[in-house]
Chain A
Amino acid sequence: MSNGGSNFDKARRNFLRGLGMGTAAVAARPAWGGETFQDAFADFFQKDYRRMSAEEIAAALERIERKAKSRYDVEIDCQNTPPQQGVVYGYAINISRCKGYRDCVHACVKENNLGRDSQMQYIRVLQLDQGDFDLEHSDHYYDPETVPVEGKHYLPVQCMQCDDPPCVKACPVEATWMEPDGIVVVDYDWCIGCRYCMAACPYWARHFNWTVPEIPAEEMNTNTHYLGNRPRPRGVVEKCTFCIHRTRKGQQPACMEACPTGSRIFGNLLDPDSEIRYVLANKQVFRLKEDLGTEPKFWYFSD
């Protein structure tokens, strides 16, 4: 009796020890990737960004920061800076001044924490024959000794932040929408990665994230935004947000700041004294694929 009892106790102890070790192992290296169980649980039940309360958003931001800490070993600052009142962003590019240096592309990769080994870039600079505007036969892999190449001109394309965005209409789960300041954003935690929006976009502005972004810890941009450049999960569709974490604080988008030619002009479309309004009023501007009626807030001009 007493023997059997001690056997039972031993078995029970072993079982409990095993359980304990099991949970210890889970805490040290969980199967779902460097989060605590509570975080993973809360992530799973996280709501759409637009339906979260202020407390829920704050908790989500803290989880994003913890996740970045465990995945990249970097202390990031993730915010959800709200849109400014009376501001709608517009962008214009002077194609007679763009020389195809691609400084904007690489500044964007760095600023938006894009994976260095993935093939994703939000901006493509197209090289076209002079006098030609055949986008389908443009070359974005050009790599000569020096640019500009004689007889060519350059056309940077990125998200046009359409005012009537077809990508938003295509999304079956409402994970993407247009903010009051005109920026089309994606809730990367709500996106299911179906890529319908990519098919709907006429500008090749949306890109699918095939891998977890590989970012060296020292190159991580720690100034992040929930809807913008925070480290994204794998398997979602990403896009340019006009550097939402910068522009909502009055800073220029990274591509504009990086451009050495000053081809890029950004500003508030509702402010009649802004640079963008001067360009729209005084230059011969055009938009790409204007006939599709998506009302892009992205203009091109030459002078």
Chain B
Amino acid sequence: MRMSRINIWALGSSMARLLSPTDKAGFRTAAASYLPLVTLLFCSALLPANAEESAEPSQALRFEGYPNAPTVSVVPRKDELFFYPCDQCHAAMEPNPEIRPLNAMHDSALEHGRGRIWCTSCHDLENRNFLTTLLNELVDIDEAYLVCGGCHANRHKDWSFGAHGKRVANWQGDRTLYSCPHCHNPHSPAIKPRAPKPAPPVRAGLRLELGIEHEKSAIWDSREEHEDQ
């Protein structure tokens, strides 16, 4: 598994603290117990150094899927995004992790999560063009379903097997799926009510009378009674 930059820094700073001359005595006393850990940290610090060089969109995280899950390709969505790449503006702006009402450009209200999540729960603070998972892994915008799956695991599994979401064009052959944000606005995911298409015409010779209280079979009343008990 790849390490993200945030992990790299965390590890790097702990390494520095452990190896710093001011803390030498502490290091020595704890040396025996820390030795395996230090070795591990050192190795893992080497790994991301390579990964950091190749942190390009094409190298973004790959989800291997569930056991026996079919291979699917996902419809890209970057071209539909008005503000993408985010770097256009954010390259010149200082990252600000503080939770605050946003002004201009972005919707001030984040309906998703009802206050439990914030921009940086999904968007990476440092790499503005990327998303981030709960494990702080960088995710390309076109692979947003990896981020969604972090919380909505059941839906994500259904989606990858074809029981949720929408397949493109064919039932046979290669599977191409729409990604989560094609249907669900990530910032306000509930589907909004919409006008229906016209109602069917009434059969010739018949008259449509709405709002008639038809007599109902007693079986439905008994069901309600059953619920009351």
Contact = CB atoms under 8 A, between A and B. Distances in A.
Interface in B143-184: 158, 161-167, 169-173, 178, 183
A4 interface: no
A282 B163 contact: yes
B216 A143 contact: no
Interface string A108-146: 000000000001010010000000101011011111111
Given A147-B194, A251-B170, A134 B217 contact: yes
Interface in A245-287: 247, 250-252, 256-257, 259-262, 265-268, 273-275, 278-279, 282-283
B204 interface: yes
Contacts of B196: 100-102, 142-144, 146-147
B197 A102 contact: yes
B70 A101 contact: no
A119 B166 CA distance: 30
A105 B193 contact: no
B131 to A, nearest CB: 22
B92 interface: no
Contacts of B163: 94, 265, 275, 278-279, 282-283, 303
Contacts of B162: 265, 267, 274-275, 278-279
A147 B172 contact: no
Interface string A77-103: 000000000000000001000011111
Interface string B73-104: 00000000000000000000000000000000
30 contacts: A99-B191, A101-B197, A102-B196, A102-B199, A105-B200, A119-B201, A132-B220, A136-B214, A136-B217, A137-B214, A140-B199, A141-B200, A141-B210, A143-B196, A146-B194, A146-B195, A148-B193, A250-B172, A251-B169, A260-B183, A261-B166, A262-B167, A265-B162, A268-B172, A273-B68, A274-B162, A275-B162, A278-B161, A278-B163, A303-B158
Given A101-B194, A278-B161, A303-B158, A124 B200 contact: yes
Contact of B169 (A102, A141, A146, A252): A252
B202 interface: yes
Closest 5 CB pairs of A and B: A275-B162, A262-B166, A250-B172, A146-B193, A102-B197
A119 B203 contact: yes
Contacts of A195: none
B198 interface: yes
Interface of B: 68, 70, 158, 161-167, 169-173, 178, 183, 191, 193-204, 208, 210, 214, 216-217, 220
Contact of B191 (A143, A145, A261, A265): A261
A47 interface: no
A257 B168 CA distance: 8
A240 to B, nearest CB: 15
Nearest to B195: A146
Contact of A266 (B171, B183, B199): B171
B165 A262 contact: yes
Nearest to B219: A134
A133 to B, nearest CB: 9
Contact of A252 (B70, B164, B171, B201): B171
